[in-house]
Amino acid sequence: MEKIMKQKNLFIMVFLLLAASAAAQEFRGVSMELIVSNGQGREQVVVVGVRQGATTGLDPTLEESELPPQPPNEIFDVRCVSTPGKSQLGLGSYADYRPYPSGSTAETFTISYQAGLNASGVTVSWDEVWPGRVTKLMIDGEDMAGNTSVETQFATGQVVVEVTFDPSPLTFTANPDPLRFDVNNRDQLPTKTLTITPNGEPNAAWELSADVEWLTISPSSGEGEQTVDVTVNTQVLPAGQYTGKIRVRSPVFGAELDVAVQMEMVVGIGAVAAPGSLELLQNYPNPFNPSTVITLELGSVLQEQGTPVLLVHDLLGRVVMDLSAEVELRHGVQTITLDAAQLAGGAYSYTLRYGSQRLTRTMMLVK
């Protein structure tokens, strides 16, 4: 029994590895769907294209499966068939993929059709916007630029499709580049937008990451041209200039781009507050789980009477934590770590009272 279980687990692991390999392979190349219909409610989608790992024969891992023999002429049937000197597809398939080219190339595909009963021909149609890296489409020797369909004149026959592919490497551009921030730690944390554009593969997937902790990117992954939000997520930094970069990477190809980020902290936490003023900065990180840091300053002139009070309230105004004992009666910036492990997830506020002054900020606990 144990031996059988080990063999079963090994089979599952091999299957998952093959499935993951096939999933990754789907992104390596370009394909074009052609819809063939007979005007009598019947249609069939066939796919032509180029793929890394493809051969000129049938490739079951790329969804090229040999079909049964063609039915009688009265039955609607559409399939990709062998193209002399180009491919060998046996009895035919719904897909015909060729090896990925090293340079711009035109591939010829052959589609066999039977319009079926009461149909005099078929219509071949495609999307108005061609897939990325498809630069030209010809059908039966005619340039299809500006068209989205073509009709045949016979009930049975073949359509010769010629597609020109441009295999230029995938690249990314970003706008703006570089991305600049001017930050004042007494103002709201700034957010700017960054547009990611894949070149050569309009729907290519990408992933983003930052090499510095003071940047947050949302969303951090996507596909095609998309705008993301880039936020400076902390004010707990000394005054000065900072640099970082946002890494743009393809999860499949070797395409990569580094976007420079420049930030100037105009005031910084080391700045001296105006006499008698109270400072309460936004907690960091925010949202958080389960701990976060609150930065505050009692001002350059301490009150003669009273002690500072720092309380955390829930949305109903109830005090859920009293951090007053953590506040030191002294000059300068101080930080207090809030551990909310015992609190439920949700929005909270924290209030600093000292003398006649009172400041409040909100924060989000995520669980």
Window from 47-51, 184-188, 252-256, 300-304 with minimum mean pLDDT: 300-304
311 Cβ partners below 8 Å, 6+ apart?
A: 319, 321, 322, 323, 324, 350, 351, 353
In a domain, 271, yes or no: no
Residue 142 lies in a domain: yes
Q: Are 161 and 175 within one domain?
A: no
Does one domain contain both 117 and 196? no
CB 84 within 8 A of CB 99: no
Q: Same domain for 158 and 59?
A: yes
Phi, psi of 114 (to 5 degrees): -130, 120
Average pLDDT of the chain to the nearest whole number: 86
pLDDT confidence band for 185 (50 / 70 / 90): low
Judgement on whether residues 232 and 304 belong to the same structural domain of the protein = no
Mean pLDDT of 179-190: 80
Q: Is there a single domain that holds both residue 140 and residue 19? A: yes
Any idea how long the chain is? 367
Residue 14: helix, strand or coil by DSSP? Answer: helix
Confidence of residue 10 (pLDDT cuts 50, 70, 90): very low
Pairing outcome for strands 95-99 and 43-51:
parallel
Of 165 and 11, the one with more pLDDT: 165
The per-residue pLDDT for range 332-360, each reduced to its tens digit, is 788 999 999 999 999 999 999 988 888 99
* Residues 154 and 175 reside in one and the same domain: no
- Residue 363, classified by CB atoms within 10 Å of its CB into exposed (0-12), middle (13-18) or buried (19+), is buried
Asked which of 97, 132, 165 is the last residue of a domain, the reply is 165
Q: How many structural domains does the chain have? A: 3
Instruction: pLDDT band for 303, please (50, 70, 90 cuts).
Output: low
Residue 55's domain comprises 2-165
CB atoms within 10 A of CB 103: 8
Does residue 326 sit in the same domain as residue 242?
no
pLDDT reported for residue 16 = 41
Nearest Cα to Cα of residue 224 among 161, 172, 147: 172
Q: Per residue in 218-234, pLDDT tens?
A: 999 999 999 999 998 87
138 and 18 within one domain: yes
273 in a domain, yes or no?
no
Beta strand extents in 169-281 (DSSP E only):
171-175, 179-183, 191-199, 205-210, 215-218, 221-223, 226-232, 240-249, 256-265, 279-280
Domain CATH for 312: 2.60.40.1930
Contact in structure between 308 and 336 (CB atoms under 8 Å): no
Q: How many Cβ atoms are within 10 Å of 36's Cβ, its own excluded?
A: 22
Using CA atoms, how far apart are residues 317 and 296, in angstroms rounded to an integer? 21
The arithmetic mean of pLDDT across residues 190-219, rounded, is 91
Q: What percent of the chain has pLDDT over 90?
A: 64
Last residue of a domain, one of 213, 237, 265: 265
* pLDDT reported for residue 211: 94
User: Among 111, 131, 165, which residue terminates a domain?
Assistant: 165
**Dihedral of alpha carbons 146, 29, 210, 173, sign:** negative
Residues 150 and 209 in one domain: no
Same domain, 107 and 29: yes
Structural domain contains residue 270:
no
Higher pLDDT, 267 or 45: 45
Other Cβ atoms closer than 10 A to 138: 16
Q: What is the pLDDT of residue 201?
A: 78
Q: What angle do CA 245, 248, 252 make, to 5 degrees?
A: 150
Q: Is residue 272 part of a domain?
A: no
Residues 29 and 138 in one domain: yes
Q: What mean pLDDT do residues 11-37 have?
A: 59
Q: What amino acid is encoded at 109 in this protein?
A: F
Q: What is the mean pLDDT of residues 185-196?
A: 84
Does pLDDT of 137 surpass 50? Answer: yes
Within-domain flag for 345: yes
Q: For position 241, which CATH number holds? A: 2.60.40.10
Q: Give the best-scoring range by mean pLDDT among 73-77, 181-185, 269-273.
A: 73-77
Strands 256-265 and 179-183: parallel
The pLDDT confidence band at residue 305, using thresholds 50, 70 and 90, is low
pLDDT tens-digit series, residues 48-77? 999 989 999 999 999 999 999 999 999 999
Residue 68, in any domain of the structure: yes
CB 239 within 8 A of CB 268: yes
274 within some domain: no
Contact predicate 124/152, CB 8 Å: yes
Residues 208 and 317 in one domain: no
Output phi, psi for 51, to 5 deg.
Answer: -140, 145
